[in-house]
């Protein structure tokens, strides 16, 4: 018959030499109890647990970023936007292309001649020509032209007169704007605005790449954190299962009351629930990473486990960063944050539109000048027609004049100007609001990092202290000074400390990445191709390091 053995009676045998038969039930229970208390489920209490690491062969943060640059639809959409802006810029330059205009006309005039026997005089005029108009970016337009005209009067035409009259004309027309449309800023306002829009689209593409790189990195840190929490949850679940098995053996040996099974079974159920929740969190984090990367749905749930660890936060470096003036970070963002630069280019485009609207308010006052030579022949043969341009007068024909156009009221021009002013002011306000948001976010991230440094230090202390507490609680249980429930409770608190440390490390990684993004120092670009290193994601941005980078 087994003797009821309590923890206090067990500890009375530690270090005391007694002749106990090796195969007695008492010895069996003693070995079982010691293995229960000193088994692998509490071996972690001997030393402070190291941070959870993930297996090699999975996806790392740089691999996730590479796939993001290759597959993210938002990046591809913005690339098409750059092509649209490029097409618009090319189209805006079409106003200054050479054009070819041809024409063929024929006219008949019938004039009655009064008299005793009225006669109808018919006059026929046929013309064919070609013009080459071009608008220069200065606002001046030129138009070389060549024209051939043939005219004949049926009453006057006879053999003695040599047939129809043929005139060939070669000339050049000029139109010089004196008010509206004068100068490059006015004549080429549309092209100037389109050029700025193209630059803004390219900068927006780079910002879109940087934004999605940031999102992918954050999604990876979330995935890594979820996986590490799953490892902790599964370890706790396995320990709870082992404790239940050994407790059942002790209960069957009458060394523990059956009531203890309620506690350990409840502990196992809770750990299994935590494990299921942690596993589902990994699934959700994997889906979030897949969406951030832009890969097809069929590939999202086939993503491998995350590989790597969270970056360390050097408290000394953090103190240097905290001491740095927030103005420096704001100035860095103003120079490198690509959406801010794109907003500036869009404002320049709006400014060009405003200049064009100001110009349209002015009246149109144009100086017109024409210069040309005429050649003349008569006769119906083709050879005479060709000679009209070979024979010309010695003195060129010329004409000049001024044309004024002024719409009364000018509601169209004034309305366009009012709209242009409103768009320009809106653009300036959007830029200022964006910069204000960036400055606020930078300050918030820096304060987060300052707080996280302390949180990380406290979380490490909590893990260390709870590790010691678990070992102490085990000793107290062996001495009969505490219960199994107390031992399980302290173990749960150690698990909670481990989970908190993972969460803090994840937030540290996210804040380091975000500070780089907010200041525009996350991604480097060459020909619209982004480049990212692990250091770009995980190192603290400092004035000295930023200037040297």
- Domain presence at residue 372: yes
> How far apart (Å, rounded) are the C-alpha atoms in residues 192 and 195?
5
Domain end marker among 421, 455, 480:
421
Residue with tokens 């400014």: 351
- Picking from 62, 207, 202, 79, the residue whose alpha carbon sits closest to that of residue 520 is 207
Q: What percent of the chain has pLDDT over 70?
A: 82
Residues 501, 313: Cα–Cα separation, whole Å: 13
Bigger pLDDT: 18 vs 28: 28
Q: What percent of the chain has pLDDT over 90?
A: 58
Q: What mean pLDDT is predicted for residues 304-331?
A: 82
Domain identity same for 526 and 391 = no
- Main-chain phi, psi angles of 306, to 5 degrees: -70, 145
Mean pLDDT estimate for the chain: 84
Mean per-residue pLDDT, 194-223: 96
Sign of the CA dihedral with 335 first, then 339, 342, and 348 last: negative
Separation between Cα atoms, residue 29 and residue 250, nearest integer Å: 7
The confidence band for 450, taking pLDDT boundaries of 50, 70 and 90, is confident
What CATH number is given to the structural domain containing 301? 1.20.1600.10
145 beta partners: 131, 171
pLDDT in tens, 163-186: 677 888 899 999 999 999 999 999
Tens of pLDDT, residues 396-445: 889 999 999 988 888 999 999 999 999 999 999 999 999 999 999 999 99
pLDDT at 203 over 70: yes
Answer whether residue 66 is part of any domain.
no
In this structure, are 444 and 395 located in the same domain? Answer: no
Same domain, 329 and 474: yes
Q: Are strands 119-131 and 101-113 parallel, antiparallel or unpaired?
A: antiparallel
H helices of 188-259, where? Answer: 189-252
Residue 319 sits in the same domain as residue 438: yes
Residues in contact with 435: Cβ distance below 8 Å, sequence separation at least 6, in sequence order: 330, 333, 334, 340
Long-range contacts of 113-120 (CB under 8 A, 24+ apart): 113/155, 119/155
Q: What is the pLDDT of residue 365?
A: 94
Closest-CA residue to 143 (of 106, 170, 179): 170
Q: Which residues contact 279 (CB under 8 A, 6 or more apart)?
A: 230, 233
> Average pLDDT of 310-317?
79
What is the pLDDT, as a whole number, of residue 10? 32
Distances (CA, A) of 502 to 190, 251, 309, 459: 55, 37, 10, 9
Q: Mean pLDDT, to the nearest integer, of 507-515?
A: 93
Which pLDDT score, from 0 to 100, does residue 118 have? 64
pLDDT of residue 12: 31
- Report pLDDT for 306: 95
Q: Is the pTM of this model over 0.85?
A: no
Confidence of residue 17 (pLDDT cuts 50, 70, 90): very low
Residue range 114-129, pLDDT digits in tens: 766 667 777 888 999 9
Give CA–CA dist 217/208, Å, rounded. Answer: 14
Place 16 in a pLDDT band, splitting at 50, 70 and 90. Answer: very low
Q: Out of 8-17, 216-225, 363-372, 480-489, which region has the weakest mean confidence (pLDDT)? A: 8-17
Using the predicted structure, report yes or no on whether residue 29 has a pLDDT greater than 60: no
Each residue's pLDDT tens digit, 476-496: 888 878 888 888 889 899 999
Asked if residue 344 has pLDDT above 60, the reply is yes
Output the pLDDT for position 27: 42
In 3-state terms, what secondary structure has residue 165? Answer: strand
pLDDT of residue 520: 94
**How confident is residue 20, by pLDDT bands cut at 50, 70 and 90?**
very low
Q: State pLDDT tens for residues 236-290.
A: 999 999 889 988 998 898 888 888 889 889 999 999 999 999 999 999 999 999 9
Do 361 and 329 lie in one domain? The reply is no
Own/partner pairs, 59-63, CB within 8 angstroms, 24+ separation: 59/220, 59/303, 59/304, 59/305, 59/306, 59/307, 60/220, 60/306, 60/307, 60/308, 61/217, 61/220, 61/221, 61/224, 61/308, 61/534, 61/537, 62/532, 62/533, 62/534
Both 298 and 388 in a single domain? no
Tell whether 299 and 438 lie within a shared domain. yes
Give 85-96 pLDDT, tens digit per residue.
Answer: 999 999 999 999
**Type and span of the H or E element at 400:** strand 397-405
Q: What counts of helices (H) and strands (E) characterise the chain? A: 16, 9
Domain tally, the chain: 2
Name the β-bridge partners of 310: none
List all residues 6 or more positions away from 83 whose beta carbon is below 8 Å from its beta carbon.
Answer: none
Contact between residue 181 and residue 364 where contact means Cβ atoms under 8 Å apart: yes
Domain range enclosing 505: 7-58+215-343+423-548
User: Is residue 64 included in any domain, yes or no?
Assistant: no
Residue at 303 is within a domain: yes
**Whether residue 488 sits in one domain with residue 437:** yes
């Amino acid at each position: 018959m087994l003797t009821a053995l309590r923890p206090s009676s067990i500890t009375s045998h530690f270090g005391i030499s007694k002749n106990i038969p090796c195969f007695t039930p008492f010895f069996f229970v003693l070995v079982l109890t010691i293995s229960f208390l000193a088994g692998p489920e509490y071996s972690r209490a001997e030393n402070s647990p190291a941070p959870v690491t993930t297996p090699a062969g999975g996806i790392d943060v740089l691999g996730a970023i590479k796939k993001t640059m290759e597959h993210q639809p938002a990046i591809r959409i913005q690339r098409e936007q750059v092509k649209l802006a490029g097409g618009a810029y090319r189209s805006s330059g079409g106003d200054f292309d050479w054009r070819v205009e041809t024409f063929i006309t024929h006219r008949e005039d019938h004039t009655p001649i009064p008299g005793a026997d009225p006669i109808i005089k018919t006059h026929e005029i046929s013309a064919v020509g070609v013009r080459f108009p071009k608008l220069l970016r200065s606002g001046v337009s030129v138009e070389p032209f060549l024209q051939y005209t043939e005219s004949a009067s049926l009453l006057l035409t006879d053999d003695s007169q040599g047939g129809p009259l043929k005139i060939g004309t070669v000339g050049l027309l000029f139109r010089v704007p004196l008010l509206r449309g004068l100068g490059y800023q006015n004549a080429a306002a549309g092209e100037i605005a389109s050029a700025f829009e193209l630059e803004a689209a390219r900068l927006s593409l780079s910002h879109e790449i940087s934004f999605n790189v940031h999102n992918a990195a954050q999604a990876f840190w979330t995935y890594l954190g979820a996986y590490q929490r799953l490892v902790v949850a599964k370890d706790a679940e396995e320990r709870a299962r082992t404790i239940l098995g050994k407790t059942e053996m002790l209960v069957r040996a009458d060394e523990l009351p059956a009531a203890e099974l309620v506690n350990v079974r409840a502990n196992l159920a809770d750990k299994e629930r935590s494990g299921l929740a942690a596993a589902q969190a990994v699934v959700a984090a994997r889906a979030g990473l897949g969406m951030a990367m832009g890969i097809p749905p069929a590939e999202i749930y086939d993503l491998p486990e995350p590989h790597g660890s969270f970056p360390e936060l050097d408290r000394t470096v953090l103190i240097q960063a905290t001491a740095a003036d927030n103005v420096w970070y704001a100035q860095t963002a103003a120079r490198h944050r690509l959406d801010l630069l794109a907003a500036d280019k869009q404002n320049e485009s709006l400014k060009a539109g405003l200049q064009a609207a100001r110009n349209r308010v002015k009246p149109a006052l144009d100086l017109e000048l024409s210069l040309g030579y005429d050649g003349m022949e008569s006769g119906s043969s083709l050879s005479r027609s060709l000679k009209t341009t070979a024979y010309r007068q010695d003195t060129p024909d010329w004409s000049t004049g001024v044309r004024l156009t002024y719409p009364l009221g000018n509601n169209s021009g004034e309305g366009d100007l009012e709209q242009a002013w409103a768009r320009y002011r809106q653009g300036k306000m959007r830029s200022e609001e964006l910069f204000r948001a960036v400055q606020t976010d930078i300050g918030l991230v820096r304060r987060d990092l300052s707080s996280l440094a302390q949180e990380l230090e406290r979380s490490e202390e909590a893990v260390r202290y709870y590790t010691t507490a678990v070992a102490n609680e085990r000793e107290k249980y062996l001495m009969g000074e505490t219960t199994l429930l107390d031992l399980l409770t302290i173990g749960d608190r150690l698990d909670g400390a481990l989970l908190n440390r993972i969460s803090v490390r994840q937030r540290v990684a996210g804040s380091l990445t975000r500070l780089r993004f907010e200041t525009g120092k996350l991604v480097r670009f060459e020909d619209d191709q982004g480049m990212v290193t692990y250091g770009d994601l995980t190192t603290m941005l400092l004035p000295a390091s930023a200037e040297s980078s």
